[in-house]
Structure 1
Amino acid sequence: MMDPANKTFRDLKDDLTRRFQELAKYGGLREKDYDPSQIATSLVDHNLHPDGGLDDPFHPLRKMIILLPDGDNSFYTDEDEGRALFPPTREKGGCDAFYAEECMRISLLPLRYMKPAALGKYESYILELIGYLRRNSSIKDYILPPPHTGIGGFSMGGYGALKIAMRHPELFSSVSSQSGLVDIELLGNKFLLKGLMPEFLEVFGHLEPLALPTSSTINEAYRREHNPLRLIREGKGRRLWGKIYFDYGAAERFSALKEGNKRLEEILGVSSRMIHPQPFNGGAAHNYLFWRSRLGNVLLHHSLYLR
Protein backbone atom coordinates (compact mmCIF):
# COMPACT_ATOMS: atom_id res chain seq x y z
CA MET A 1 0.00 0.00 0.00
CA MET A 2 3.06 2.23 0.19
CA ASP A 3 4.50 1.19 -3.19
CA PRO A 4 4.48 4.23 -5.55
CA ALA A 5 4.14 1.84 -8.52
CA ASN A 6 0.49 1.29 -7.56
CA LYS A 7 -1.30 4.06 -9.45
CA THR A 8 -4.83 2.63 -9.37
CA PHE A 9 -6.83 0.42 -7.02
CA ARG A 10 -6.46 -2.33 -9.63
CA ASP A 11 -2.68 -2.04 -9.33
CA LEU A 12 -3.01 -2.26 -5.56
CA LYS A 13 -5.26 -5.32 -5.75
CA ASP A 14 -2.90 -7.11 -8.16
CA ASP A 15 0.09 -6.22 -5.98
CA LEU A 16 -1.61 -7.52 -2.82
CA THR A 17 -2.56 -10.74 -4.61
CA ARG A 18 1.08 -11.32 -5.57
CA ARG A 19 2.29 -10.56 -2.06
CA PHE A 20 -0.18 -12.96 -0.45
CA GLN A 21 0.76 -15.61 -3.03
CA GLU A 22 4.37 -15.20 -1.94
CA LEU A 23 3.31 -15.41 1.69
CA ALA A 24 1.36 -18.60 1.03
CA LYS A 25 4.33 -20.10 -0.80
CA TYR A 26 6.35 -19.99 2.40
CA GLY A 27 3.59 -21.17 4.72
CA GLY A 28 2.47 -17.73 5.85
CA LEU A 29 -1.24 -18.44 5.40
CA ARG A 30 -3.22 -20.94 7.41
CA GLU A 31 -4.43 -24.08 5.70
CA LYS A 32 -8.12 -23.08 5.78
CA ASP A 33 -7.52 -19.43 4.91
CA TYR A 34 -8.95 -17.69 1.86
CA ASP A 35 -6.85 -17.77 -1.29
CA PRO A 36 -4.67 -14.71 -2.10
CA SER A 37 -7.05 -13.23 -4.68
CA GLN A 38 -9.96 -13.46 -2.23
CA ILE A 39 -7.93 -11.73 0.48
CA ALA A 40 -7.02 -8.92 -1.93
CA THR A 41 -10.66 -8.62 -3.01
CA SER A 42 -11.76 -8.26 0.61
CA LEU A 43 -9.11 -5.65 1.38
CA VAL A 44 -9.68 -3.50 -1.71
CA ASP A 45 -13.11 -4.09 -3.28
CA HIS A 46 -15.16 -4.62 -0.13
CA ASN A 47 -13.45 -2.37 2.41
CA LEU A 48 -10.85 0.13 1.25
CA HIS A 49 -12.69 1.26 -1.91
CA PRO A 50 -16.20 -0.26 -1.85
CA ASP A 51 -17.99 2.57 -3.64
CA GLY A 52 -15.59 3.15 -6.51
CA GLY A 53 -14.02 1.42 -9.49
CA LEU A 54 -10.74 -0.45 -9.67
CA ASP A 55 -9.41 2.00 -12.25
CA ASP A 56 -9.86 4.95 -9.89
CA PRO A 57 -6.53 6.55 -8.94
CA PHE A 58 -4.88 5.24 -5.80
CA HIS A 59 -2.53 7.42 -3.81
CA PRO A 60 0.03 5.28 -1.97
CA LEU A 61 0.10 5.64 1.78
CA ARG A 62 2.88 7.46 3.55
CA LYS A 63 5.81 5.23 4.42
CA MET A 64 5.75 4.10 8.02
CA ILE A 65 7.65 1.79 10.33
CA ILE A 66 5.28 -0.73 11.90
CA LEU A 67 6.20 -2.39 15.20
CA LEU A 68 4.17 -5.26 16.63
CA PRO A 69 4.93 -5.77 20.34
CA ASP A 70 3.06 -8.76 21.75
CA GLY A 71 1.11 -8.04 24.92
CA ASP A 72 -0.18 -11.61 25.20
CA ASN A 73 -2.84 -11.60 27.97
CA SER A 74 -1.59 -8.49 29.76
CA PHE A 75 -4.33 -6.01 28.80
CA TYR A 76 -1.34 -3.74 28.04
CA THR A 77 -1.59 -2.57 31.63
CA ASP A 78 0.77 -2.59 34.60
CA GLU A 79 -0.41 -5.25 37.04
CA ASP A 80 -2.08 -3.25 39.81
CA GLU A 81 -0.31 -4.80 42.80
CA GLY A 82 3.08 -4.08 41.28
CA ARG A 83 4.27 -7.66 41.45
CA ALA A 84 4.82 -10.59 39.16
CA LEU A 85 3.76 -14.05 40.24
CA PHE A 86 5.77 -15.83 37.58
CA PRO A 87 9.36 -15.95 36.37
CA PRO A 88 9.96 -14.93 32.74
CA THR A 89 8.70 -17.59 30.35
CA ARG A 90 11.42 -19.90 29.07
CA GLU A 91 9.64 -20.93 25.89
CA LYS A 92 10.25 -18.68 22.89
CA GLY A 93 8.48 -20.82 20.31
CA GLY A 94 5.50 -18.55 19.75
CA CYS A 95 3.54 -15.76 21.35
CA ASP A 96 0.44 -17.94 21.76
CA ALA A 97 2.20 -21.15 22.75
CA PHE A 98 0.86 -22.76 25.92
CA TYR A 99 3.07 -24.75 28.29
CA ALA A 100 1.27 -25.88 31.41
CA GLU A 101 4.45 -26.39 33.42
CA GLU A 102 5.13 -22.65 33.16
CA CYS A 103 1.61 -21.64 34.08
CA MET A 104 -0.41 -21.25 37.22
CA ARG A 105 -3.44 -23.31 38.15
CA ILE A 106 -6.26 -20.80 38.53
CA SER A 107 -9.25 -23.08 38.99
CA LEU A 108 -10.50 -25.83 41.24
CA LEU A 109 -11.21 -27.68 38.01
CA PRO A 110 -8.43 -29.47 36.13
CA LEU A 111 -6.78 -28.00 33.03
CA ARG A 112 -7.56 -24.37 33.82
CA TYR A 113 -4.35 -22.37 33.79
CA MET A 114 -3.25 -18.77 33.40
CA LYS A 115 -0.26 -17.94 31.24
CA PRO A 116 2.64 -16.11 32.93
CA ALA A 117 2.65 -13.37 30.29
CA ALA A 118 -0.54 -12.04 31.86
CA LEU A 119 1.49 -10.24 34.48
CA GLY A 120 4.03 -7.49 34.35
CA LYS A 121 4.29 -3.80 33.58
CA TYR A 122 3.06 -3.75 30.01
CA GLU A 123 1.96 -0.13 29.71
CA SER A 124 5.35 0.89 31.08
CA TYR A 125 6.96 -1.44 28.55
CA ILE A 126 5.17 0.20 25.60
CA LEU A 127 6.20 3.66 26.79
CA GLU A 128 9.76 2.48 27.34
CA LEU A 129 9.82 0.94 23.85
CA ILE A 130 8.70 4.20 22.23
CA GLY A 131 11.38 6.12 24.11
CA TYR A 132 14.06 3.59 23.22
CA LEU A 133 13.23 3.69 19.51
CA ARG A 134 13.47 7.46 19.48
CA ARG A 135 16.74 7.65 21.41
CA ASN A 136 18.85 4.58 20.81
CA SER A 137 17.68 2.27 18.05
CA SER A 138 19.15 1.78 14.60
CA ILE A 139 16.00 3.30 13.09
CA LYS A 140 15.90 6.43 15.24
CA ASP A 141 16.99 8.64 12.33
CA TYR A 142 13.90 7.56 10.38
CA ILE A 143 11.40 8.30 13.15
CA LEU A 144 9.73 11.68 13.22
CA PRO A 145 9.54 13.50 16.56
CA PRO A 146 6.40 13.23 18.71
CA PRO A 147 3.55 13.07 18.09
CA HIS A 148 4.13 11.54 14.63
CA THR A 149 3.35 8.07 15.92
CA GLY A 150 0.18 6.02 15.61
CA ILE A 151 -0.90 3.28 17.98
CA GLY A 152 -3.41 0.56 17.19
CA GLY A 153 -4.44 -2.99 17.87
CA PHE A 154 -7.22 -5.54 17.70
CA SER A 155 -9.13 -7.34 20.43
CA MET A 156 -7.16 -6.88 23.66
CA GLY A 157 -4.67 -4.80 21.67
CA GLY A 158 -7.51 -2.52 20.56
CA TYR A 159 -8.34 -1.89 24.19
CA GLY A 160 -4.67 -1.31 25.02
CA ALA A 161 -4.10 1.09 22.13
CA LEU A 162 -7.09 3.28 22.96
CA LYS A 163 -6.34 3.23 26.68
CA ILE A 164 -2.65 4.13 26.32
CA ALA A 165 -3.44 6.85 23.78
CA MET A 166 -5.98 8.49 26.09
CA ARG A 167 -3.56 8.34 29.02
CA HIS A 168 -0.59 9.65 26.99
CA PRO A 169 -2.08 11.66 24.09
CA GLU A 170 1.04 13.80 23.70
CA LEU A 171 2.89 10.78 22.28
CA PHE A 172 0.53 9.96 19.42
CA SER A 173 -0.94 11.44 16.26
CA SER A 174 -3.60 8.76 15.70
CA VAL A 175 -5.14 5.69 17.31
CA SER A 176 -7.07 2.66 16.06
CA SER A 177 -9.03 -0.08 17.80
CA GLN A 178 -10.51 -3.13 16.08
CA SER A 179 -12.91 -5.21 18.19
CA GLY A 180 -11.52 -3.54 21.29
CA LEU A 181 -13.02 -3.89 24.76
CA VAL A 182 -13.37 -0.14 25.25
CA ASP A 183 -15.48 -0.18 28.45
CA ILE A 184 -13.98 -2.61 30.94
CA GLU A 185 -16.41 -1.50 33.65
CA LEU A 186 -19.01 -3.64 31.86
CA LEU A 187 -17.15 -6.72 33.14
CA GLY A 188 -18.45 -7.66 36.56
CA ASN A 189 -19.26 -11.37 36.66
CA LYS A 190 -16.35 -12.94 38.53
CA PHE A 191 -17.44 -16.47 37.61
CA LEU A 192 -17.31 -15.56 33.93
CA LEU A 193 -14.05 -13.66 34.32
CA LYS A 194 -12.28 -16.45 36.15
CA GLY A 195 -13.46 -18.98 33.60
CA LEU A 196 -12.63 -16.98 30.48
CA MET A 197 -10.29 -14.13 31.46
CA PRO A 198 -8.57 -14.88 34.78
CA GLU A 199 -5.83 -12.46 33.72
CA PHE A 200 -8.33 -9.61 34.05
CA LEU A 201 -8.77 -10.35 37.75
CA GLU A 202 -5.02 -10.39 38.34
CA VAL A 203 -4.18 -7.31 36.27
CA PHE A 204 -7.00 -5.18 37.71
CA GLY A 205 -7.22 -6.69 41.16
CA HIS A 206 -6.24 -9.83 43.01
CA LEU A 207 -6.77 -13.36 41.73
CA GLU A 208 -7.15 -16.12 44.29
CA PRO A 209 -5.97 -19.08 42.21
CA LEU A 210 -7.41 -22.23 43.77
CA ALA A 211 -10.57 -20.76 45.25
CA LEU A 212 -14.09 -19.84 44.26
CA PRO A 213 -14.34 -16.78 41.96
CA THR A 214 -15.95 -14.73 44.73
CA SER A 215 -12.65 -14.86 46.63
CA SER A 216 -10.97 -12.78 43.92
CA THR A 217 -11.26 -9.00 44.00
CA ILE A 218 -11.26 -6.12 41.52
CA ASN A 219 -9.59 -2.81 42.36
CA GLU A 220 -12.38 -0.54 41.12
CA ALA A 221 -10.32 2.65 41.31
CA TYR A 222 -7.55 1.07 39.26
CA ARG A 223 -10.02 -0.27 36.72
CA ARG A 224 -11.55 3.20 36.29
CA GLU A 225 -8.09 4.71 35.74
CA HIS A 226 -7.52 2.30 32.86
CA ASN A 227 -10.97 2.32 31.26
CA PRO A 228 -10.81 4.01 27.81
CA LEU A 229 -14.48 5.01 27.80
CA ARG A 230 -14.27 6.63 31.23
CA LEU A 231 -11.08 8.46 30.26
CA ILE A 232 -12.86 9.93 27.24
CA ARG A 233 -15.92 10.86 29.31
CA GLU A 234 -13.59 12.70 31.68
CA GLY A 235 -12.14 14.67 28.77
CA LYS A 236 -8.78 12.88 28.63
CA GLY A 237 -6.98 12.73 25.30
CA ARG A 238 -9.31 15.28 23.71
CA ARG A 239 -6.76 16.27 21.04
CA LEU A 240 -7.01 12.73 19.65
CA TRP A 241 -10.78 12.32 19.63
CA GLY A 242 -11.10 13.25 15.96
CA LYS A 243 -8.24 10.90 15.08
CA ILE A 244 -9.69 7.68 16.50
CA TYR A 245 -10.51 4.84 14.14
CA PHE A 246 -12.53 1.96 15.57
CA ASP A 247 -14.73 -0.83 14.28
CA TYR A 248 -16.27 -4.12 15.42
CA GLY A 249 -18.04 -7.00 13.73
CA ALA A 250 -21.80 -7.47 13.57
CA ALA A 251 -21.29 -11.14 14.49
CA GLU A 252 -19.26 -10.26 17.61
CA ARG A 253 -20.49 -12.62 20.36
CA PHE A 254 -19.02 -10.73 23.31
CA SER A 255 -21.93 -8.49 24.32
CA ALA A 256 -19.81 -6.22 26.54
CA LEU A 257 -17.52 -5.50 23.60
CA LYS A 258 -20.37 -4.51 21.30
CA GLU A 259 -22.05 -2.43 23.98
CA GLY A 260 -18.82 -0.60 24.79
CA ASN A 261 -18.23 0.32 21.15
CA LYS A 262 -21.82 1.54 20.79
CA ARG A 263 -21.30 3.78 23.82
CA LEU A 264 -18.11 5.10 22.23
CA GLU A 265 -20.07 5.94 19.06
CA GLU A 266 -22.51 7.97 21.16
CA ILE A 267 -19.84 9.85 23.11
CA LEU A 268 -17.85 10.76 19.99
CA GLY A 269 -21.01 11.52 18.02
CA VAL A 270 -20.13 9.28 15.09
CA SER A 271 -22.18 6.91 12.96
CA SER A 272 -22.17 3.18 13.59
CA ARG A 273 -18.77 1.54 13.19
CA MET A 274 -20.24 -1.96 13.11
CA ILE A 275 -19.11 -3.94 10.05
CA HIS A 276 -21.49 -6.52 8.58
CA PRO A 277 -20.53 -9.90 7.11
CA GLN A 278 -18.99 -9.78 3.65
CA PRO A 279 -17.39 -12.36 1.39
CA PHE A 280 -13.96 -13.24 2.77
CA ASN A 281 -14.15 -11.20 6.01
CA GLY A 282 -14.53 -14.06 8.47
CA GLY A 283 -18.23 -13.47 8.88
CA ALA A 284 -17.53 -10.17 10.70
CA ALA A 285 -16.79 -12.16 13.85
CA HIS A 286 -14.01 -11.91 16.44
CA ASN A 287 -11.21 -13.39 14.33
CA TYR A 288 -8.09 -12.51 12.36
CA LEU A 289 -9.93 -12.84 9.03
CA PHE A 290 -12.18 -9.95 9.99
CA TRP A 291 -9.36 -7.79 11.36
CA ARG A 292 -7.25 -8.38 8.24
CA SER A 293 -10.12 -7.37 5.96
CA ARG A 294 -10.09 -3.88 7.53
CA LEU A 295 -6.32 -3.52 7.65
CA GLY A 296 -6.20 -1.22 4.62
CA ASN A 297 -8.67 1.14 6.29
CA VAL A 298 -6.59 1.15 9.47
CA LEU A 299 -3.32 1.91 7.66
CA LEU A 300 -4.99 4.64 5.61
CA HIS A 301 -6.28 6.23 8.81
CA HIS A 302 -2.82 6.36 10.39
CA SER A 303 -1.22 7.53 7.15
CA LEU A 304 -3.49 10.58 7.05
CA TYR A 305 -2.09 11.83 10.36
CA LEU A 306 1.60 10.97 9.95
CA ARG A 307 2.64 14.44 8.88
Structure 2
Amino acid sequence: MAFATIQYFSRSLSKASAFNVIFPDDPAIPRPWSTFYLLHGLSDDHTIWARRTSIERYVQDMPLVVVMPDGGRGWYTNAAEGYAHEDDLIRDVVGLVDRTFPVKAEREGRAIGGLSMGGYGAVKLGLKHHETFCSVNSHSGAIAFLRSDPAENRKLSPEFERIFGKEPKGGPEDPFAIVERIDHGRIPAMRIDCGTDDFLIQHNRDFHKFLEDRRIAHEYQEFPGDHNWAYWDQHVQEAVAFHARNLKLKP
Protein backbone atom coordinates (compact mmCIF):
# COMPACT_ATOMS: atom_id res chain seq x y z
CA MET A 1 0.00 0.00 0.00
CA ALA A 2 1.05 3.59 -0.59
CA PHE A 3 0.83 6.31 2.06
CA ALA A 4 0.53 10.06 1.53
CA THR A 5 -0.29 13.28 3.30
CA ILE A 6 -2.55 15.58 1.30
CA GLN A 7 -2.29 19.29 2.04
CA TYR A 8 -5.29 21.22 0.77
CA PHE A 9 -7.18 24.45 1.27
CA SER A 10 -10.49 23.87 3.00
CA ARG A 11 -13.10 26.27 1.69
CA SER A 12 -15.41 25.29 4.54
CA LEU A 13 -12.82 26.16 7.19
CA SER A 14 -11.24 29.04 5.22
CA LYS A 15 -7.82 27.64 6.11
CA ALA A 16 -5.21 25.12 5.09
CA SER A 17 -5.78 21.59 6.34
CA ALA A 18 -4.53 18.05 5.72
CA PHE A 19 -5.48 14.40 5.65
CA ASN A 20 -3.51 11.17 5.48
CA VAL A 21 -4.43 8.55 2.92
CA ILE A 22 -3.54 4.89 2.38
CA PHE A 23 -4.19 3.55 -1.12
CA PRO A 24 -3.25 0.55 -3.27
CA ASP A 25 0.07 0.63 -5.09
CA ASP A 26 -0.25 -2.78 -6.74
CA PRO A 27 -1.34 -2.37 -10.39
CA ALA A 28 -3.02 -5.78 -10.17
CA ILE A 29 -5.64 -4.43 -7.72
CA PRO A 30 -8.65 -3.55 -9.86
CA ARG A 31 -10.12 -0.08 -10.02
CA PRO A 32 -12.25 1.76 -9.03
CA TRP A 33 -11.53 1.43 -5.31
CA SER A 34 -13.84 1.93 -2.35
CA THR A 35 -13.14 4.47 0.40
CA PHE A 36 -13.10 4.21 4.19
CA TYR A 37 -13.13 7.55 6.06
CA LEU A 38 -11.53 6.94 9.46
CA LEU A 39 -12.03 9.65 12.11
CA HIS A 40 -9.85 10.47 15.11
CA GLY A 41 -10.80 11.38 18.68
CA LEU A 42 -10.88 14.66 20.59
CA SER A 43 -7.22 14.84 21.60
CA ASP A 44 -5.69 13.66 18.31
CA ASP A 45 -5.28 14.60 14.66
CA HIS A 46 -5.13 13.04 11.19
CA THR A 47 -1.79 11.31 11.88
CA ILE A 48 -2.86 9.24 14.88
CA TRP A 49 -4.41 6.16 13.25
CA ALA A 50 -1.24 5.51 11.24
CA ARG A 51 0.99 6.15 14.27
CA ARG A 52 -0.88 4.10 16.87
CA THR A 53 -2.41 1.22 14.88
CA SER A 54 -1.43 -1.10 12.04
CA ILE A 55 -4.28 0.10 9.82
CA GLU A 56 -2.05 0.06 6.73
CA ARG A 57 -1.27 -3.61 7.29
CA TYR A 58 -4.92 -4.45 7.99
CA VAL A 59 -6.03 -3.18 4.56
CA GLN A 60 -3.06 -4.64 2.67
CA ASP A 61 -3.96 -5.76 -0.88
CA MET A 62 -7.57 -4.57 -0.57
CA PRO A 63 -9.15 -2.37 -3.27
CA LEU A 64 -9.70 0.23 -0.56
CA VAL A 65 -8.56 3.78 0.15
CA VAL A 66 -8.38 4.77 3.83
CA VAL A 67 -8.78 8.52 4.35
CA MET A 68 -7.86 9.95 7.76
CA PRO A 69 -8.96 13.61 7.95
CA ASP A 70 -8.13 16.24 10.56
CA GLY A 71 -11.28 17.10 12.49
CA GLY A 72 -9.58 19.30 15.08
CA ARG A 73 -11.65 19.47 18.26
CA GLY A 74 -14.72 20.27 16.21
CA TRP A 75 -16.82 17.12 16.74
CA TYR A 76 -17.23 16.80 12.93
CA THR A 77 -19.95 19.42 13.24
CA ASN A 78 -20.74 22.83 11.78
CA ALA A 79 -20.35 24.88 14.96
CA ALA A 80 -23.05 27.28 16.07
CA GLU A 81 -20.13 29.69 16.52
CA GLY A 82 -16.94 28.65 14.79
CA TYR A 83 -15.64 26.27 12.17
CA ALA A 84 -17.73 24.14 9.78
CA HIS A 85 -16.02 20.76 10.31
CA GLU A 86 -18.96 18.78 8.93
CA ASP A 87 -18.85 20.68 5.64
CA ASP A 88 -15.07 20.31 5.53
CA LEU A 89 -15.36 16.52 5.63
CA ILE A 90 -18.46 16.03 3.48
CA ARG A 91 -17.74 18.68 0.86
CA ASP A 92 -14.03 19.38 0.83
CA VAL A 93 -12.41 16.07 1.80
CA VAL A 94 -14.89 13.67 0.17
CA GLY A 95 -15.10 15.96 -2.85
CA LEU A 96 -11.32 16.11 -3.26
CA VAL A 97 -10.93 12.34 -2.86
CA ASP A 98 -13.72 11.66 -5.37
CA ARG A 99 -12.11 13.99 -7.92
CA THR A 100 -8.50 12.92 -7.40
CA PHE A 101 -8.43 9.16 -6.77
CA PRO A 102 -9.90 6.35 -8.91
CA VAL A 103 -12.67 5.62 -6.40
CA LYS A 104 -16.35 4.77 -6.55
CA ALA A 105 -17.86 8.23 -6.10
CA GLU A 106 -21.18 6.87 -4.88
CA ARG A 107 -22.88 5.67 -1.72
CA GLU A 108 -22.08 2.01 -2.40
CA GLY A 109 -18.37 2.83 -2.47
CA ARG A 110 -18.01 4.78 0.79
CA ALA A 111 -17.80 3.78 4.46
CA ILE A 112 -17.10 5.86 7.57
CA GLY A 113 -15.88 5.01 11.07
CA GLY A 114 -14.03 6.42 14.03
CA LEU A 115 -13.27 6.31 17.74
CA SER A 116 -14.60 8.36 20.66
CA MET A 117 -15.34 11.84 19.20
CA GLY A 118 -14.79 10.21 15.81
CA GLY A 119 -17.22 7.43 16.72
CA TYR A 120 -19.85 10.07 17.41
CA GLY A 121 -18.88 11.83 14.18
CA ALA A 122 -19.09 8.67 12.09
CA VAL A 123 -22.53 7.73 13.43
CA LYS A 124 -23.87 11.28 13.17
CA LEU A 125 -22.52 11.87 9.66
CA GLY A 126 -23.45 8.39 8.47
CA LEU A 127 -27.05 8.94 9.55
CA LYS A 128 -27.31 12.57 8.51
CA HIS A 129 -25.68 11.92 5.13
CA HIS A 130 -27.09 8.44 4.57
CA GLU A 131 -27.01 9.10 0.82
CA THR A 132 -23.20 9.35 1.03
CA PHE A 133 -22.16 6.29 3.09
CA CYS A 134 -23.30 2.68 2.88
CA SER A 135 -21.80 1.54 6.19
CA VAL A 136 -20.79 3.09 9.52
CA ASN A 137 -18.81 1.93 12.51
CA SER A 138 -18.04 3.40 15.92
CA HIS A 139 -15.44 2.35 18.49
CA SER A 140 -16.01 3.68 22.03
CA GLY A 141 -18.19 6.43 20.58
CA ALA A 142 -19.46 9.45 22.50
CA ILE A 143 -22.77 8.77 20.83
CA ALA A 144 -24.99 10.10 23.62
CA PHE A 145 -22.75 13.11 24.28
CA LEU A 146 -25.51 15.60 23.49
CA ARG A 147 -27.81 13.88 26.00
CA SER A 148 -25.34 13.96 28.88
CA ASP A 149 -24.93 16.53 31.66
CA PRO A 150 -23.85 19.81 29.96
CA ALA A 151 -21.56 20.69 32.86
CA GLU A 152 -19.75 17.37 32.52
CA ASN A 153 -19.58 17.82 28.76
CA ARG A 154 -17.89 21.20 29.16
CA LYS A 155 -15.23 19.58 31.36
CA LEU A 156 -14.48 17.07 28.62
CA SER A 157 -14.83 19.55 25.77
CA PRO A 158 -14.78 23.27 26.69
CA GLU A 159 -15.95 23.97 23.13
CA PHE A 160 -19.23 22.15 23.77
CA GLU A 161 -21.66 25.08 23.93
CA ARG A 162 -19.92 27.08 21.22
CA ILE A 163 -20.22 24.11 18.85
CA PHE A 164 -23.62 22.67 19.78
CA GLY A 165 -25.50 25.56 21.37
CA LYS A 166 -27.22 25.56 24.75
CA GLU A 167 -29.85 22.85 24.09
CA PRO A 168 -28.46 20.29 21.62
CA LYS A 169 -30.51 17.31 22.78
CA GLY A 170 -33.02 16.42 20.08
CA GLY A 171 -31.40 18.82 17.63
CA PRO A 172 -29.85 18.30 14.19
CA GLU A 173 -26.55 16.95 15.58
CA ASP A 174 -28.11 14.39 17.96
CA PRO A 175 -27.84 10.85 16.49
CA PHE A 176 -30.91 9.71 18.45
CA ALA A 177 -33.00 12.51 16.97
CA ILE A 178 -31.63 11.97 13.46
CA VAL A 179 -32.76 8.33 13.57
CA GLU A 180 -36.29 9.48 14.44
CA ARG A 181 -36.38 11.88 11.49
CA ILE A 182 -35.05 9.80 8.60
CA ASP A 183 -36.39 6.90 6.57
CA HIS A 184 -35.21 3.81 8.45
CA GLY A 185 -34.85 1.99 5.16
CA ARG A 186 -31.98 4.31 4.23
CA ILE A 187 -30.00 3.90 7.45
CA PRO A 188 -26.52 2.60 6.56
CA ALA A 189 -25.28 -0.73 7.88
CA MET A 190 -24.02 -0.01 11.41
CA ARG A 191 -21.50 -1.63 13.71
CA ILE A 192 -20.95 -0.31 17.25
CA ASP A 193 -18.46 -1.64 19.79
CA CYS A 194 -17.09 -0.52 23.15
CA GLY A 195 -14.86 -1.79 25.92
CA THR A 196 -16.57 -2.86 29.13
CA ASP A 197 -14.21 -0.66 31.19
CA ASP A 198 -14.65 2.36 28.93
CA PHE A 199 -16.12 5.51 30.51
CA LEU A 200 -18.39 5.82 27.46
CA ILE A 201 -19.90 2.34 27.75
CA GLN A 202 -23.31 3.66 28.83
CA HIS A 203 -23.47 5.93 25.76
CA ASN A 204 -23.13 2.86 23.59
CA ARG A 205 -25.55 0.71 25.57
CA ASP A 206 -28.17 3.48 25.44
CA PHE A 207 -27.87 3.87 21.67
CA HIS A 208 -27.91 0.10 21.16
CA LYS A 209 -31.15 -0.19 23.17
CA PHE A 210 -32.61 2.79 21.29
CA LEU A 211 -31.96 1.05 17.97
CA GLU A 212 -33.21 -2.31 19.26
CA ASP A 213 -36.45 -0.75 20.50
CA ARG A 214 -37.05 0.57 16.96
CA ARG A 215 -36.04 -2.72 15.34
CA ILE A 216 -33.23 -1.05 13.42
CA ALA A 217 -30.72 -3.61 12.22
CA HIS A 218 -27.19 -3.11 13.53
CA GLU A 219 -24.24 -4.98 15.00
CA TYR A 220 -23.36 -4.30 18.63
CA GLN A 221 -20.56 -5.85 20.67
CA GLU A 222 -18.83 -5.26 23.98
CA PHE A 223 -15.32 -6.53 24.61
CA PRO A 224 -12.90 -6.45 27.51
CA GLY A 225 -10.95 -3.21 27.32
CA ASP A 226 -10.73 0.48 28.07
CA HIS A 227 -10.58 3.77 26.19
CA ASN A 228 -7.15 3.20 24.69
CA TRP A 229 -5.16 2.26 21.61
CA ALA A 230 -4.69 -1.37 22.59
CA TYR A 231 -8.46 -1.72 22.27
CA TRP A 232 -8.82 0.31 19.05
CA ASP A 233 -5.92 -1.33 17.22
CA GLN A 234 -7.48 -4.73 17.88
CA HIS A 235 -11.05 -3.90 16.97
CA VAL A 236 -10.48 -1.71 13.92
CA GLN A 237 -9.63 -5.01 12.22
CA GLU A 238 -13.24 -6.12 12.76
CA ALA A 239 -14.44 -2.77 11.43
CA VAL A 240 -12.40 -3.24 8.25
CA ALA A 241 -13.95 -6.70 7.76
CA PHE A 242 -17.44 -5.27 8.40
CA HIS A 243 -16.99 -2.53 5.80
CA ALA A 244 -15.42 -4.94 3.32
CA ARG A 245 -18.61 -7.03 3.44
CA ASN A 246 -20.88 -4.02 2.98
CA LEU A 247 -18.70 -2.50 0.26
CA LYS A 248 -18.73 -5.93 -1.41
CA LEU A 249 -14.97 -6.08 -1.68
CA LYS A 250 -13.58 -9.30 -3.03
CA PRO A 251 -11.27 -11.15 -0.58
For residues 176-218 of structure 1, give each alpha carbon's deviation from its aligned partner in whole angstroms, at most 9, with x where no partner exists: 111112223422332x22222212222112xxxxxxxxxxxx1
What amino acid sits opposite 2:85 in the alignment?
A: Y
CA contact (8 A) 1:154 1:179 kept: yes
What amino acid sits opposite 1:171 in the alignment?
A: T
Whole-angstrom distance in 2 between the partners of 1:263 and 1:200: 25
Q: What aligned pairs does 1:256-267 form with structure 2 within 5 A after superposition?
A: 256-266=202-212, 267=214
> CA RMSD of the aligned region, Å?
3.2
Whole-angstrom distance in 1 between the partners of 2:128 and 2:178: 8
- C-alpha spacing 1:270/1:286, structure 2 compared with 1 (3 Å): farther
Q: Shift in Å at residue 77 of structure 1?
A: 0.2
Whole-angstrom distance in 1 between the partners of 2:200 and 2:135: 26
CA contact (8 A) 2:130 2:186 kept: yes
Larger radius of gyration: 1
CA contact (8 A) 2:192 2:204 kept: no
SS of residue in 2 equivalent to 1:150: strand
- C-alpha spacing 1:239/1:258, structure 2 compared with 1 (3 Å): closer
Residue number in structure 2 paired with 1:122 = 85
Q: Which has the higher helix share?
A: 1
SS of residue in 2 equivalent to 1:153: strand
What amino acid sits opposite 2:71 in the alignment?
A: G
- The reply on whether 1:194 has 2:190 as its aligned counterpart is no
Whole-angstrom distance in 2 between the partners of 1:252 and 1:176: 17
Q: Shift in Å at residue 173 of structure 1?
A: 1.6
In structure 2, runs of 5+ residues without a counterpart are 2-23, 27-49
CA contact (8 A) 2:110 2:133 kept: yes
In structure 1, runs of 5+ residues without a counterpart are 5-27, 37-43, 45-59, 85-119, 206-217, 278-283
Whole-angstrom distance in 2 between the partners of 1:272 and 1:299: 14
Q: Return the match for 2:176 from 229, 239, 258.
A: 229
Q: Return the match for 1:293 from 230, 234, 251.
A: 234
Q: Return the match for 2:129 from 156, 160, 168.
A: 168
Whole-angstrom distance in 1 between the partners of 2:106 and 2:51: 35
Kindly, what percent of the aligned residue pairs are identical? 24
Q: Shift in Å at residue 63 of structure 1?
A: 1.7
Q: Which has the higher strand share?
A: 2
Residue number in structure 2 paired with 1:145 = 105
**Residue correspondences, number:** 197
- The reply on whether 1:80 has 2:28 as its aligned counterpart is no
- C-alpha spacing 1:269/1:168, structure 2 compared with 1 (3 Å): closer
Whole-angstrom distance in 1 between the partners of 2:73 and 2:84: 12
CA contact (8 A) 1:149 1:172 kept: yes
TM-score (ref. length: structure 2):
0.67
TM-score (ref. length: structure 1):
0.56
Task: Give every structure 1 segment of 4 or more consecutive aligned residues whose post-TM-superposition deviation is greater than 6 Å.
Answer: none
For residues 91-115 of structure 1, give each alpha carbon's deviation from its aligned partner in whole angstroms, at most 9, with x where no partner exists: xxxxxxxxxxxxxxxxxxxxxxxxx
Residue number in structure 2 paired with 1:134 = 98
Whole-angstrom distance in 1 between the partners of 2:161 and 2:135: 30
What amino acid sits opposite 1:262 in the alignment?
A: H
SS of residue in 1 equivalent to 2:72: coil
- C-alpha spacing 1:303/1:195, structure 2 compared with 1 (3 Å): same
SS of residue in 1 equivalent to 2:68: coil
Moved more, 267-276 or 60-69: 267-276
Q: Shift in Å at residue 258 of structure 1?
A: 3.8
Whole-angstrom distance in 2 between the partners of 1:175 and 1:63: 18
